[in-house]
Amino acid sequence: MEITNVTEYQAIAKQKLPKMIYDYYASGAEDEWTLQENREAFARILFRPRILIDVSKIDMTTTILGFKLSMPIMISPTAMQKMAHPDGEYATARAASAAGTIMTLSSWATSSVEEVASTGPGIRFFQLYVYKDRRVVEQLVRRAEKAGFKAIALTVDTPRLGRREADIKNRFVLPQNLTLKNFEGLDLGKMDQANDSGLASYVAGQIDRTLSWKDVKWLQSITTMPILVKGVITAEDSRLAVENGAAGIIVSNHGARQLDYVPATISALEEVVKAARGQIPVFLDGGVRRGTDVFKALALGAAGVFIGRPVVFSLAVAGEAGVSNVLKMLRDEFELTMALSGCNSLADITRNHVVTEADKFGVMPSRL
């Protein structure tokens, strides 16, 4: 069967992967209301395309934290990619590099920062979980920096793991042949079988629940890498991120895997963007499956988007080629959306190109 869009990879991945692994990637927290809403909220945003504009040349390039990218579509951190495919994070890194975009490596990767760096050149960010043992964190940050990673994406929405019922039912645990490679030498690389989710037990034992804004300052003191705060969904926290020296914000609800009944990230985006007042870039993570989604996020003020599940599902189906295809399909769809909306460059995409639920129910903002 020919794959014609990003979503089609999920059903094929479901057939291919063991249930425990597919469920780990696919599921959300509790009722999975936010999981569904991350997608559905995009469907409630409509376009106001402009016509009779010369769109013979479309430029999708952008600069993120000073790095030139081919497009504003980047790869989110997703854990344990070798569960999806033997090449795991290596394949993802190569696909991102070939596409001229950024890969974010998860702390809980099944390949180490050094291994991923060995795949060749590329702009890579490192997602960080703060462990109770700060020496572990310090060592990991130094290793990422030494391996040429360009920024830290600090996950701030996980003092405890969300309740993912599929993982509890499946007694999820990292398969025996794999380890959390970044922690292998520290005896933190293995996950014990538990009477619920093995990952939930691991997080309860290792991840620091005391994490607060002062730790963002501490992180700045141990690295020169810029710090992106991943997991902001309110204006209040957007302001605090700016005040505490964050280099950027990733609006994220952790793929709807942490607190259920938070808004879709696309619904929270504008509030966060307005509060940041243009002082730092704001990115969107969550629910992006179409080029139209990318355009909607940029119209609402995002500097770029991150994709998570499409990467692991396409990786499961076709390895590096699958991830490359997802990036290509999103790129092509986004280019077409720009052309049909009358935009030649990212700078041409404005708030007037979309209409949201808030616009419909509130006072329609004056367009002229």
The verdict on residue 258 lying in a domain is yes
Residue 181 lies in a domain: yes
* Residue among 313, 266, 345, 343 at smallest CA distance from 37: 266
Catalytic positions are 254
Domain assignment present for residue 367? The answer is no
Q: What share of the chain is helix, strand, coil (3-state, %, to 5)?
A: 45, 15, 40
Specify which residues 254 forms β-bridges with: none
- The whole domain housing 81 covers 6-362
**Average pLDDT rounded to a whole number, residues 242-258:** 98
Q: Note the pLDDT tens digit of each residue in 296-353.
A: 999 999 999 999 999 999 999 999 999 999 999 999 999 999 999 999 999 999 999 9
Average pLDDT, the chain: 95
Residue 246's φ and ψ, nearest 5 degrees, are: -65, 145
Q: Which residues belong to the annotated binding site for glyoxylate? A: 24, 129, 164, 254, 257
Q: Which residues contact 327 (CB under 8 A, 6 or more apart)?
A: 73, 95, 96, 99, 101
pLDDT confidence of residue 363: 52
Residue 100: is its pLDDT beyond 50? Answer: yes
- 35 found inside a domain: yes
pLDDT of amino acid 312: 98
- The more confidently predicted of residues 179 and 186 is 179
Residue 364 has pLDDT above 70, yes or no: no
Instruction: Report if residue 112 sits inside a domain.
Output: yes
Distances (CA, A) of 10 to 7, 49, 115, 138, 278: 6, 30, 27, 37, 36
1 belongs to a structural domain:
no
For the segment 34-48, the average pLDDT, to the nearest whole number, is: 98
Note whether 66 and 349 are within 8 A (CB). Answer: no
pLDDT score recorded for residue 190 = 65
The CATH number of whichever domain residue 181 belongs to comes to 3.20.20.70
Let me know: does 209 contact 161? Beta carbons within 8 Å: no
Range with lowest mean pLDDT among 144-153, 169-178, 331-340: 169-178
pLDDT of residue 368: 44
pTM exceeds cut of 0.85: yes
270 inside domain: yes
**Separation CA 101–CA 331 (nearest Å):** 11
The residue whose two tokens read 């980047």 is 74
C-alpha span between 248 and 215 (Å, rounded): 16
Q: Which residues are annotated as a binding site for FMN?
A: 77-79, 106, 127, 155, 230, 252, 285-289, 308-309
| Structural domains counted in the chain | 1
- pLDDT, one tens digit per residue, over 259-268 is 999 999 999 9
Question: Which residues lie below 8 Å from residue 323, measured CB to CB, with a gap of 6+?
Answer: 75, 91, 92, 95, 96, 311, 314, 315
